[in-house]
Structure 1
Amino acid sequence: MREAVIKAGVASDANYMGRLFGDIVNSADSSGEGVIPLCMTPYVSLVIHEAQAKPQTIDPSAFDSFTDDAREVCARARHSLKLFEDTRRGTDGQLRFFEDEILKKHSSHFLGNTWLPPARFLESDLSLFTYNETLISTSHAAAFHIGMRTERLFHKDNEAYVRATMEKMGRCLYALGARLDAEGPRTFVRNLSREGVRHRDTRAAPYYQQGFNGSTTPAINGVLTDFQVRTNFIAFMLTAGSDVLDLEYTVFKIRYITLYQVLTSLMLLKENAAYPLSRESTEILEGITGSEEARLITNSSARGFRNTLMHYNLPGRIDTQRITLDQPLFGLVSIFFPSHNYRSLSELTDRCVKTTAERLNSWADAT
């Protein structure tokens, strides 16, 4: 049963990713063609990385074409989903990474390139992507989660390098069962508003001096912007055209993992006295993380639920007699959330996702 759950989870995720990219290729509206892969790349990396870590269950030949560099890129992208829970960097490391590798290097690369000094105010180093006027990604968030080293992204052959790496990931997905023409329901791509996706460029320094915790903490504000766009994506884009109470495996998984990591990361930020948070910021964080829904989702007793969604493995002490492949999430909901079934947990998760997104958006707009 443990192996069957791993195989079923990987197969479901690969099938969804195939249909997703099939919908992107076949969509008559290309407005979201660029930003959707930016939003989805860390989740694609999650599938590949975790499947590769199961050689006793998942045929390792699926990764024969994966180079060491592609493997490292995939691993970094997957680890980025943990946000402040990343044991390799932690909160301090993530903030330093954003400031040094994202904010400073992007500004150095994109600014000061024009020979005409009066025109330099026209330069920009931050792209903002919106869906129905809600921020769902930025160029900094994309770089934070893509897993590629900044030097490679800005190298003169960056397009060839990125394309080659993504092609290697695509071949892995194909070997795991992904198909552009796979059977199954259409993904959110087919249900997006044709005019909904927009993008504009701006300067990062003044942008990160507004909202959130104020002008003195640009790195904190930048990372909080990443939390904001990840939550907005799962709240307002990923479920377009879907019944949020009856989501397929992969969509629920992406939403739950993202929400869990955002909430736990906000808790870590709030509880660490080393960070100069204003009283207003602390109160906002308490409001986001202290709700009944947030406490249930992040409760330590539900950690095994999150771990199975993240890693595919069933918890070691779980009673496998209670696991069945024909139930949503293999019947895990009743084990970890005894007072809920799949639909009621989906409703609670959806409510918490949207409330968290709304509060982060309001905080981002504060001056």
Structure 2
Amino acid sequence: MTLEELVIQQGIDRDIEYAKGLVLDNRAIEDSGMASITLLCLAPYLSLYVYESSKKLRTVDSFQIENLSATVEPIVARSRHSLKLFDDNKRGIEGQLAYFRNEILAPHGAMFRGKNLFTRLLGDDLGIFRYNNRIIGTTHSISFNSGIDSAVLLSLDRTAIKGIYEEYGHYFGALGTRLGVPGETFVRRLDSQAFSPREEDVRSGRYYRKVFDGPGNPDLNALLTFFQGLMNFAELITSNSGVPEYSAFKIRFLTLYQVLTSLHMLRTDQGQTLTARSTKILTSLVEAAETQLLLSRPARSLRNTLTHYNLVQPIDSTRVDVVQPLFGLVPIYFPAHTAESFVALVNGHLAAVAARLDEWSGPM
């Protein structure tokens, strides 16, 4: 096995083992509401593991991987690509705003507010989920991340949705037969008392006019609320006990990277008109020294390896070591950092950006 193949296999093995642990630990949660919300928020990351590992294993591994059904395979792809945010080269900013408006907001509005005059006037079409009183997801963001067409998702019962995610479990299980017993994941360390006792239901039209850039930009505010939930989930839910966990760190790093990339794109997009307050906050986020480091070319290379598993060339392969944290890539890409100091920087900036987004979404 070549070094490249070894890095790919090690990355896949760690993600699949961790995914198995996430699923098993989620099943052990006694609060069914908390378990459901956590699993739905984890969906795009589980999809990332499935989508990227299956692509690589078809080319570098000879054993038969678990095939997904014709129904679930495109769901996995859409769910995985939802994490690109504005960095989706097929949509970009305007395309994502239009998609969110037409494919997420409109179906939810039709389902919960379009049945009769009473529901049109008083119906709530946005559910908000919180942990420690901070947004970790909404019914809109979860719908987008699921990869399931909103009209279909809203018509499915729990059994049908469970069947979709059982295929994920079968995939992980088939690959996991050669792995050790999964260890505890961050799911086991969650505090059930920190979850809101029930979802907070609001009118999306009213809510999105009160947050972030204000009443003149509700479509953008909907996407920024999505970013806010991703960041808070990554910070609050995927935190660990101080021991760097490859796959948990991967979730935090990729979330931070994609949100920062999207905010940078928003800041430089001439087609977006923002309030002075939004411009000031956005500029401070984009121009922070940590952001500049995490949006550098070396960071893009690390992002690509964590996402796609393969090494990004050119690289000094003599310094790559699969037994080292993050395969020894950190000091190669960031000479001023060790793996531990880089993880600490990512965790610190993740918390800072998440807090700034919470602040931005508040009173203007």
Q: 1:58 to 1:122 in 2, by over 3 A?
A: farther
Task: Tell me how far 1:325 sits from its aligned partner.
Answer: 1.3
2:127 is matched with 127
2:360 is the counterpart of 1:366: no
Which letter does structure 1 place at the counterpart of 2:191?
S
Which letter does structure 2 place at the counterpart of 1:134?
R
Q: 1:195 to 1:98 in 2, by over 3 A?
A: same
Deviations 1:220-248 (A, max 9, x none): 00000010000001111211x521xx321
1:317 is matched with 314
For 1:175 and 1:344, the matched residues in 2 are separated by: 36
Q: 1:3 to 1:30 in 2, by over 3 A?
A: same
Task: Tell me how far 1:122 sits from its aligned partner.
Answer: 4.7
Secondary structure of 1:32's counterpart equals helix
Conserved? CA contact 1:15–1:179, under 8 Å: no
Conserved? CA contact 1:22–1:181, under 8 Å: no
For 2:127 and 2:112, the matched residues in 1 are separated by: 11
2:191 is matched with 193
2:18 is matched with 16
For 2:280 and 2:28, the matched residues in 1 are separated by: 46
For 1:253 and 1:289, the matched residues in 2 are separated by: 21
2:208 is the counterpart of 1:223: no
For 1:273 and 1:321, the matched residues in 2 are separated by: 44
Q: 1:167 to 1:60 in 2, by over 3 A?
A: farther
2:255 is matched with 258
Conserved? CA contact 1:18–1:178, under 8 Å: no
Greater helix content: 2
1:211 is matched with 211
CA RMSD of aligned residues (A): 1.9
For 1:22 and 1:180, the matched residues in 2 are separated by: 14
Which letter does structure 2 place at the counterpart of 1:223?
L
2:5 is matched with 3
Moved over 6 A (4+): 178-181
2:75 is the counterpart of 1:78: no
Which letter does structure 1 place at the counterpart of 2:60?
T
1:237 is matched with 237
Which letter does structure 2 place at the counterpart of 1:233?
F
For 2:295 and 2:218, the matched residues in 1 are separated by: 27
Q: TM-score, normalised by structure 2?
A: 0.94
Deviations 1:139-173 (A, max 9, x none): 10101111111232133x45444222212222111
1:350 is matched with 347
Task: Tell me how far 1:175 sits from its aligned partner.
Answer: 1.6
Task: Tell me how far 1:118 sits from its aligned partner.
Answer: 5.2
2:281 is the counterpart of 1:291: no
Task: Tell me how far 1:112 sits from its aligned partner.
Answer: 3.5
Q: 1:29 to 1:319 in 2, by over 3 A?
A: same
Task: Tell me how far 1:28 sits from its aligned partner.
Answer: 3.8
Deviates more, 1:53-62 or 1:39-48: 53-62
For 1:34 and 1:208, the matched residues in 2 are separated by: 25
Which letter does structure 1 place at the counterpart of 2:192?
R
Q: 1:286 to 1:41 in 2, by over 3 A?
A: same
For 2:286 and 2:168, the matched residues in 1 are separated by: 35
Which letter does structure 1 place at the counterpart of 2:7?
V
Flag structure 2 segments of 5+ consecutive residues without an equivalent: none
Conserved? CA contact 2:23–2:169, under 8 Å: no
Task: Tell me how far 1:200 sits from its aligned partner.
Answer: 1.5
Secondary structure of 1:195's counterpart equals helix
Task: Tell me how far 1:178 sits from its aligned partner.
Answer: 7.3
Task: Tell me how far 1:110 sits from its aligned partner.
Answer: 1.1
2:301 to 297, 301, 304: 304
Secondary structure of 2:60's counterpart equals coil
State how 1:145-160 maps to structure 2 within 5 Å. 145-155=145-155, 157-160=156-159
Task: Tell me how far 1:306 sits from its aligned partner.
Answer: 0.7
Which letter does structure 1 place at the counterpart of 2:114?
G
Task: Tell me how far 1:120 sits from its aligned partner.
Answer: 5.8
1:39 to 25, 38, 41: 41
1:61 is matched with 64
Conserved? CA contact 1:10–1:176, under 8 Å: no
Secondary structure of 2:135's counterpart equals strand
For 2:279 and 2:62, the matched residues in 1 are separated by: 48
Deviations 1:56-86 (A, max 9, x none): 224562233x123311111111111110001
Which letter does structure 1 place at the counterpart of 2:341?
S
Q: TM-score, normalised by structure 1?
A: 0.93
For 1:104 and 1:28, the matched residues in 2 are separated by: 34
1:177 is matched with 176
Q: Percent identity?
A: 37
Secondary structure of 2:34's counterpart equals coil
Which letter does structure 2 place at the counterpart of 1:33?
A
